[in-house]
Amino acid sequence: MKAPVPKALRPSPKRPGQDRNGKNGRNGAPPAEPTAKDHVIEGTATAVGWLDERTGATPFLRGFLYRKVPKGTNWYYTLGSATMFAFLSQAITGVFLAMYYEPDATRSYESAAHITNDVFLGEFVRGMHKWGSSVMIILIFLHMGRVFFFGAYKYPRELNWIIGVLLLVLTLMMGLTGYLLPFDQRSFWATVVAVNINASGPIIGPYLADFLRAGSEFGPTTISRFYSLHMLAVPGLIAALIGAHLYLVAKLGTTAPPWLKAEKKDLMTEEV
């Protein structure tokens, strides 16, 4: 049996930041000073912890972002997210355009030309907004088509399908109200035709046309009516419905593609 080592000859216990001899750092050197990156990471963690302690957002974000997805999920499922990002792009570029645009019958055309010709990156931002509207309409039609052909509108997602239909109508209304704002010959007469088509609708058609024109005929207040709808009313409704739409997607989940058969254990779980 090996004799025990006397206590005086035993090495001192190792402490955090020390070696077995009790000296700080490696080989007796002092510990390294924290770098700027360490300060940034620590400051970010402190700020996030402070915010989470006061809002309690972690459980919500965990349930919203980390959820199970069905087998067979593919790129078709990104059409909804693509449509939402197209809306965000439209909102951001629209805010910058509104800084220079004047919704006045005598000044709207000149202000649109000023944005295109004189403002720094004005033509680029206006082009993003103009073509982004077409991209958003195409994406939302593709998304609705994917939901329909995959059968994702069935129980228990009927309410989400209704919200999606409302978002489609509001997106088309955004395109209509924004088309008049440059107030050139093409946009003016195209809007006249579109409003007359609305006026031909049954019962509410004439009232809807009068509401859009802000009167019985096109006048100076028509462009102000279209601008307020395009910048305030319709985007606000779209943002609210997108929030409800995302909440229901997170709550109910997504459906698997119709060509995939559920496994037996999955069916048993559903029945229970």
Residue 243 lies in a domain: yes
Residue 107 lies in a domain: yes
Residue 60 lies in a domain: no
Q: Indicate if 208 and 157 belong to the same structural domain.
A: yes
Q: Indicate if 141 and 91 belong to the same structural domain.
A: yes
Of all residues in the chain, the percent with pLDDT exceeding 90 is 62
Can you give the residue range of the structural domain that contains 45? 7-54
pLDDT mean over 9-36: 59
Task: Give 88-137 pLDDT, tens digit per residue.
Answer: 999 999 999 999 999 998 999 999 999 999 999 999 999 999 999 999 99
Of all residues in the chain, the percent with pLDDT exceeding 70 is 84
- Looking at residue 3, its pLDDT comes to 60
Q: Which residue did the predictor score with more confidence, 260 or 22? A: 260
pLDDT mean over 51-80: 82
- Looking at residue 28, its pLDDT comes to 55
Q: Indicate if 119 and 218 belong to the same structural domain.
A: yes
Q: Indicate if 127 and 241 belong to the same structural domain.
A: yes
Residue 259 lies in a domain: no
- Looking at residue 24, its pLDDT comes to 53
Cα(210)–Cα(195) distance, rounded to whole angstroms? 9
Q: Indicate if 27 and 122 belong to the same structural domain.
A: no
CATH code for the domain in which residue 209 is found: 1.20.810.10
Q: Indicate if 37 and 83 belong to the same structural domain.
A: no
Q: Indicate if 130 and 210 belong to the same structural domain.
A: yes
Task: Give 227-240 pLDDT, tens digit per residue.
Answer: 999 999 999 999 99
Q: Indicate if 88 and 188 belong to the same structural domain.
A: yes
Tell the residue number behind the tokens 């944005």, with chain if given.
Answer: 115
Residue 257 lies in a domain: no
Residue 1 lies in a domain: no
Q: Indicate if 84 and 204 belong to the same structural domain.
A: yes
- Looking at residue 9, its pLDDT comes to 55
Residue 68 lies in a domain: no
What mean pLDDT, rounded, does the chain reach? 86
Q: Indicate if 173 and 39 belong to the same structural domain.
A: no
119 burial class (0-12, 13-18, 19+ CB within 10 angstroms)? middle
Q: Indicate if 212 and 143 belong to the same structural domain.
A: yes
Task: Give 137-196 pLDDT, tens digit per residue.
Answer: 999 999 999 999 999 999 999 999 999 999 999 999 999 999 999 999 999 999 999 999
Q: Indicate if 43 and 149 belong to the same structural domain.
A: no
How many domains does the chain fold into? 2
Pick from 140, 157, 152: nearest CA to 72? 152
Residue 66 lies in a domain: no
